[in-house]
Protein backbone atom coordinates (compact mmCIF):
# COMPACT_ATOMS: atom_id res chain seq x y z
CA UNK A 1 0.00 0.00 0.00
CA UNK A 2 1.20 3.49 -0.85
CA UNK A 3 2.46 5.55 2.09
CA UNK A 4 0.24 8.52 2.98
CA UNK A 5 1.87 11.95 2.87
CA UNK A 6 0.55 14.94 4.77
CA UNK A 7 1.44 18.55 5.50
CA UNK A 8 0.94 19.76 9.08
CA UNK A 9 1.79 22.96 10.98
CA UNK A 10 2.57 23.00 14.72
CA UNK A 11 0.12 25.03 16.85
CA UNK A 12 2.66 27.46 18.37
CA UNK A 13 0.49 30.49 17.57
CA UNK A 14 -2.89 28.77 17.54
CA UNK A 15 -5.71 30.61 19.34
CA UNK A 16 -9.21 31.89 18.70
CA UNK A 17 -8.44 35.51 17.91
CA UNK A 18 -11.47 36.27 15.69
CA UNK A 19 -14.81 34.72 14.79
CA UNK A 20 -15.36 33.54 11.22
CA UNK A 21 -17.47 30.45 11.85
CA UNK A 22 -20.14 29.59 14.44
CA UNK A 23 -17.75 27.44 16.47
CA UNK A 24 -15.40 30.30 17.23
CA UNK A 25 -15.86 32.58 20.21
CA UNK A 26 -13.08 34.86 21.37
CA UNK A 27 -14.53 34.45 24.85
CA UNK A 28 -13.79 30.71 24.96
CA UNK A 29 -10.06 30.56 25.51
CA UNK A 30 -7.96 27.85 23.94
CA UNK A 31 -5.88 25.93 26.44
CA UNK A 32 -2.48 26.26 24.76
CA UNK A 33 -0.86 23.37 26.59
CA UNK A 34 -3.73 21.06 25.76
CA UNK A 35 -3.75 22.14 22.14
CA UNK A 36 -0.04 21.44 21.91
CA UNK A 37 -0.47 17.99 23.52
CA UNK A 38 -3.43 17.10 21.27
CA UNK A 39 -1.58 18.17 18.13
CA UNK A 40 1.55 16.24 19.18
CA UNK A 41 -0.38 13.04 19.95
CA UNK A 42 -1.95 13.27 16.51
CA UNK A 43 1.34 14.01 14.75
CA UNK A 44 3.05 11.12 16.56
CA UNK A 45 0.24 8.71 15.72
CA UNK A 46 0.34 9.58 12.02
CA UNK A 47 4.11 9.60 11.63
CA UNK A 48 4.67 6.62 13.97
CA UNK A 49 2.21 3.71 14.12
CA UNK A 50 0.22 4.79 11.07
CA UNK A 51 3.38 5.07 8.99
CA UNK A 52 2.49 8.33 7.23
CA UNK A 53 5.13 10.73 6.00
CA UNK A 54 4.39 14.08 7.63
CA UNK A 55 5.99 17.28 6.34
CA UNK A 56 5.95 20.39 8.49
CA UNK A 57 5.20 24.01 7.69
CA UNK A 58 6.76 26.58 10.06
CA UNK A 59 4.15 28.28 12.28
CA UNK A 60 3.89 32.06 11.98
CA UNK A 61 2.82 34.67 14.55
CA UNK A 62 -0.42 36.48 13.77
CA UNK A 63 -1.79 33.54 11.76
CA UNK A 64 -3.58 31.44 14.38
CA UNK A 65 -5.47 29.29 11.82
CA UNK A 66 -2.33 28.31 9.89
CA UNK A 67 -2.52 24.98 11.79
CA UNK A 68 -5.46 24.07 9.55
CA UNK A 69 -3.30 23.12 6.59
CA UNK A 70 -6.21 21.43 4.82
CA UNK A 71 -7.15 24.92 3.71
CA UNK A 72 -3.80 25.61 2.01
CA UNK A 73 -5.01 24.42 -1.35
CA UNK A 74 -5.36 21.22 -3.31
CA UNK A 75 -2.50 18.97 -4.37
CA UNK A 76 -2.46 16.49 -7.23
CA UNK A 77 0.91 15.00 -8.05
CA UNK A 78 3.25 18.00 -8.44
CA UNK A 79 0.54 20.63 -8.92
CA UNK A 80 -0.60 22.83 -6.03
CA UNK A 81 -3.77 24.86 -6.55
CA UNK A 82 -3.47 27.55 -3.92
CA UNK A 83 -6.38 28.79 -1.85
CA UNK A 84 -7.82 32.27 -1.70
CA UNK A 85 -9.63 32.72 1.61
CA UNK A 86 -13.11 34.14 2.06
CA UNK A 87 -12.12 36.17 5.12
CA UNK A 88 -9.30 38.70 5.32
CA UNK A 89 -8.32 37.22 8.69
CA UNK A 90 -6.89 34.18 6.90
CA UNK A 91 -5.57 35.74 3.70
CA UNK A 92 -2.13 36.26 5.23
CA UNK A 93 -1.71 32.48 5.15
CA UNK A 94 -1.76 32.32 1.36
CA UNK A 95 1.82 33.55 0.91
CA UNK A 96 3.14 31.07 3.48
CA UNK A 97 1.56 28.13 1.76
CA UNK A 98 2.69 29.34 -1.66
CA UNK A 99 6.28 29.74 -0.49
CA UNK A 100 6.38 26.25 1.00
CA UNK A 101 5.12 24.60 -2.17
CA UNK A 102 7.30 26.70 -4.49
CA UNK A 103 10.42 25.89 -2.51
CA UNK A 104 9.67 22.20 -2.89
CA UNK A 105 9.32 22.39 -6.63
CA UNK A 106 5.55 22.18 -7.00
CA UNK A 107 3.84 23.99 -9.86
CA UNK A 108 1.77 26.60 -8.02
CA UNK A 109 -1.53 27.64 -9.59
CA UNK A 110 -3.83 30.41 -8.43
CA UNK A 111 -7.44 30.98 -9.42
CA UNK A 112 -9.07 34.09 -10.85
CA UNK A 113 -10.15 36.73 -8.37
CA UNK A 114 -12.53 37.44 -6.76
CA UNK A 115 -13.44 33.78 -6.42
CA UNK A 116 -12.68 32.10 -3.12
CA UNK A 117 -11.30 28.63 -2.71
CA UNK A 118 -10.41 27.02 0.61
CA UNK A 119 -8.50 23.98 -0.60
CA UNK A 120 -9.16 20.52 0.76
CA UNK A 121 -11.52 22.03 3.28
CA UNK A 122 -13.92 22.21 0.33
CA UNK A 123 -12.50 19.76 -2.22
CA UNK A 124 -11.98 16.07 -1.51
CA UNK A 125 -11.04 13.21 -3.83
CA UNK A 126 -12.92 9.96 -3.78
CA UNK A 127 -11.43 7.45 -6.19
CA UNK A 128 -11.04 9.32 -9.46
CA UNK A 129 -13.69 11.90 -8.66
CA UNK A 130 -13.44 15.23 -6.92
CA UNK A 131 -16.25 16.37 -4.62
CA UNK A 132 -16.43 20.07 -3.91
CA UNK A 133 -18.46 22.07 -1.41
CA UNK A 134 -19.54 25.65 -2.02
CA UNK A 135 -21.57 28.44 -0.47
CA UNK A 136 -20.00 29.53 2.81
CA UNK A 137 -16.30 29.59 1.94
CA UNK A 138 -15.52 28.45 -1.58
CA UNK A 139 -17.19 29.59 -4.80
CA UNK A 140 -18.54 27.30 -7.49
CA UNK A 141 -16.53 29.19 -10.13
CA UNK A 142 -13.32 28.47 -8.23
CA UNK A 143 -14.05 24.76 -8.24
CA UNK A 144 -14.68 24.81 -11.94
CA UNK A 145 -11.26 26.39 -12.44
CA UNK A 146 -9.49 24.10 -10.00
CA UNK A 147 -10.99 20.98 -11.56
CA UNK A 148 -9.98 22.31 -14.99
CA UNK A 149 -6.38 22.76 -13.90
CA UNK A 150 -6.30 19.26 -12.45
CA UNK A 151 -8.26 17.82 -15.40
CA UNK A 152 -10.64 16.21 -13.00
CA UNK A 153 -14.36 15.58 -13.09
CA UNK A 154 -16.11 16.97 -10.08
CA UNK A 155 -19.41 16.93 -8.25
CA UNK A 156 -20.31 20.33 -6.81
CA UNK A 157 -22.28 20.15 -3.58
CA UNK A 158 -24.11 23.06 -2.02
CA UNK A 159 -23.69 23.43 1.73
CA UNK A 160 -26.63 24.84 3.70
CA UNK A 161 -25.90 24.64 7.44
CA UNK A 162 -23.40 27.19 8.67
CA UNK A 163 -22.17 24.90 11.44
CA UNK A 164 -20.88 22.68 8.63
CA UNK A 165 -19.27 25.49 6.68
CA UNK A 166 -16.58 23.42 4.96
CA UNK A 167 -17.16 20.20 3.01
CA UNK A 168 -14.74 18.34 5.27
CA UNK A 169 -17.02 18.95 8.26
CA UNK A 170 -19.87 16.91 6.73
CA UNK A 171 -18.29 14.57 4.17
CA UNK A 172 -15.30 12.24 4.35
CA UNK A 173 -14.38 9.87 1.54
CA UNK A 174 -12.96 6.70 3.08
CA UNK A 175 -12.16 4.72 -0.09
CA UNK A 176 -13.61 4.36 -3.59
CA UNK A 177 -16.87 2.92 -2.14
CA UNK A 178 -17.53 4.40 1.27
CA UNK A 179 -17.81 7.92 2.63
CA UNK A 180 -19.03 9.44 5.88
CA UNK A 181 -21.89 11.81 5.14
CA UNK A 182 -24.00 14.12 7.28
CA UNK A 183 -26.79 14.58 4.73
CA UNK A 184 -28.71 17.49 6.31
CA UNK A 185 -25.71 19.77 5.77
CA UNK A 186 -26.38 19.62 2.00
CA UNK A 187 -29.10 21.19 -0.16
CA UNK A 188 -31.55 18.59 -1.44
CA UNK A 189 -30.15 18.38 -5.02
CA UNK A 190 -26.69 17.86 -3.56
CA UNK A 191 -28.01 15.14 -1.25
CA UNK A 192 -29.34 13.40 -4.37
CA UNK A 193 -25.92 13.61 -6.03
CA UNK A 194 -24.39 11.95 -2.99
CA UNK A 195 -27.00 9.19 -2.92
CA UNK A 196 -26.47 8.53 -6.61
CA UNK A 197 -22.70 8.61 -6.77
CA UNK A 198 -21.43 7.27 -3.44
CA UNK A 199 -21.84 3.46 -3.52
CA UNK A 200 -21.72 3.04 0.27
CA UNK A 201 -22.63 6.22 2.15
CA UNK A 202 -22.23 5.93 5.91
CA UNK A 203 -24.94 8.14 7.40
CA UNK A 204 -23.66 10.18 10.30
CA UNK A 205 -26.07 11.33 13.03
CA UNK A 206 -26.32 15.01 13.94
CA UNK A 207 -24.96 14.22 17.38
CA UNK A 208 -21.75 12.71 15.99
CA UNK A 209 -21.51 15.20 13.14
CA UNK A 210 -21.44 17.95 15.76
CA UNK A 211 -18.50 16.16 17.34
CA UNK A 212 -16.75 16.43 13.95
CA UNK A 213 -17.13 12.73 13.10
CA UNK A 214 -16.86 13.62 9.39
CA UNK A 215 -13.57 15.42 9.96
CA UNK A 216 -11.74 12.12 9.62
CA UNK A 217 -8.43 11.16 8.04
CA UNK A 218 -7.59 7.90 6.33
CA UNK A 219 -4.04 6.50 6.37
CA UNK A 220 -3.84 3.03 4.88
CA UNK A 221 -6.38 0.84 6.67
CA UNK A 222 -6.61 3.29 9.55
CA UNK A 223 -8.97 6.16 10.23
CA UNK A 224 -8.33 8.94 12.73
CA UNK A 225 -11.33 10.86 14.01
CA UNK A 226 -12.39 12.83 17.08
CA UNK A 227 -13.44 10.92 20.18
CA UNK A 228 -17.13 10.60 21.05
CA UNK A 229 -18.26 9.06 17.75
CA UNK A 230 -18.99 5.39 18.58
CA UNK A 231 -21.49 4.75 15.77
CA UNK A 232 -19.22 6.02 13.03
CA UNK A 233 -16.34 4.07 14.57
CA UNK A 234 -18.40 0.88 14.53
CA UNK A 235 -19.36 1.37 10.88
CA UNK A 236 -15.74 1.87 9.90
CA UNK A 237 -14.60 -1.18 11.87
CA UNK A 238 -17.26 -3.26 10.10
CA UNK A 239 -15.59 -2.25 6.86
CA UNK A 240 -12.19 -3.43 8.06
CA UNK A 241 -10.66 -0.16 9.27
CA UNK A 242 -8.78 0.34 12.53
CA UNK A 243 -10.20 3.45 14.19
CA UNK A 244 -8.18 5.86 16.30
CA UNK A 245 -10.31 8.31 18.27
CA UNK A 246 -8.36 11.31 19.56
CA UNK A 247 -9.27 14.37 21.58
CA UNK A 248 -9.37 17.52 19.43
CA UNK A 249 -11.31 19.70 21.91
CA UNK A 250 -9.05 22.74 21.57
CA UNK A 251 -9.17 22.75 17.78
CA UNK A 252 -12.93 22.26 17.72
CA UNK A 253 -13.10 25.64 19.50
CA UNK A 254 -11.84 27.07 16.18
CA UNK A 255 -14.11 24.84 14.08
CA UNK A 256 -11.66 22.13 13.08
CA UNK A 257 -10.44 18.63 13.98
CA UNK A 258 -8.44 15.76 12.45
CA UNK A 259 -8.98 16.46 8.77
CA UNK A 260 -8.55 20.22 9.00
CA UNK A 261 -5.12 19.75 10.56
CA UNK A 262 -3.64 17.91 7.57
CA UNK A 263 -3.33 18.46 3.85
CA UNK A 264 -2.81 15.48 1.59
CA UNK A 265 0.40 15.76 -0.43
Q: Which of 166, 170, 214, 229 is catalytic?
A: 166
Question: In the complex with ligand ARG, which residue's Cβ is closer, 65 or 98?
Answer: 65
Question: In the complex with ligand ARG, which residue's Cβ is closer, 71 or 145?
Answer: 71
CB of 86 to ligand ARG, least distance (A): 8
Query: Residue 133 interacts with ligand ARG (CB under 6 A)?
Result: no
Q: Which of 71, 83, 222, 233 binds ligand ARG (CB under 6 A)?
A: 71
The residues in 145-174 that bind ligand ARG, with binding defined as CB under 6 A, are 166, 168-169
Question: In the complex with ligand ARG, which residue's Cβ is closer, 221 or 258?
Answer: 258
Q: What angle do CA 43, 45, 50 make, to 5 degrees?
A: 120
Which range binds ligand ARG by CB under 6 A, 16-24, 45-53, 98-106, 151-159? Answer: 16-24
CB of 250 to ligand ARG, least distance (A): 12
Active-site positions?
166, 260
Which residues make up the interface to ligand ARG (CB under 6 A)?
Answer: 20-21, 24, 65, 68, 70-71, 90, 121, 166, 168-169, 254-256, 260
Amino acid sequence: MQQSRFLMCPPDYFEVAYEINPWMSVERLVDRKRAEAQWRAYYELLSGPLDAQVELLAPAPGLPDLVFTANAGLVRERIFVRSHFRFKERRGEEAHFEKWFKSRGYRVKTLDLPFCFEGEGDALSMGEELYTGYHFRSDLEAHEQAAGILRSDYFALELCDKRFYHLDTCFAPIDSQSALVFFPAFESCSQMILWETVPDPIRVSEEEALRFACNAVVAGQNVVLPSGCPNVSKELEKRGYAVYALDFSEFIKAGGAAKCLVLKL
